[in-house]
Amino acid sequence: MELWSHPWWIIGLYSLTGLFFLLFALLIASYRTLRGELSQGSGIALASTSIESTPLGYTTLGQMGIGSTAIAGATRQPKLNTWVNRIFIAIVLQCAAIYLISAYPGTRSPFWLGITLQGFTYGSAAVYYASWGKEPYED
């Protein structure tokens, strides 16, 4: 079965590759955004407060003013998470659709197509898991 002078499965692999690179780019963008917010927020909190120690010689987060900054930063959800979720679901559904189409007897597909589809699925799951980051109030 030929589609635009290419085998039917090559167009699916092209689109899967594009979606995977888009997912990876969103991971890098969310990491840079999170890193910038944390470094900017911590610097402002530490620069505007003075550190006073307790009689035992240690300071608390409340005295340093960091506690409120950490809570305010933890409650905000990055807007990129919704796009990461959507792209991950699109990759998984497209891999499932290509696999189901290749299971029909009339379609000819290479033997390595199933392995490639599993690689896309598990690779995008790993990138999706890495984009979660740390949950709020988690040690």
Among 119, 128, 104, which Cα is nearest to 17's?
Answer: 119
pLDDT surpassing 50 at residue 122: yes
Domain boundaries defined on the chain: 13-130
| CA distance linking residue 76 with residue 29, whole number of Å | 16
Tell me, letter by letter, the H, E, C secondary structure of the chain.
CEECCEEHHHHHHHHHHHHHHHHHHHHHHHHHHHHHHHHHHHHHHHHHCCCCCCCCCCCCHHHHCHHHHHHHHHHCCCCHHHHHHHHHHHHHHHHHHHHHHHCCCCCCCCCCHHHHHHHHHHHHHHHHHHCCCCCCCCC
What would the pLDDT profile of 49-97 be if each residue is shown by its tens digit? Answer: 455 555 665 555 555 555 454 544 454 455 778 889 999 999 999 999 9
pLDDT of residue 43: 47
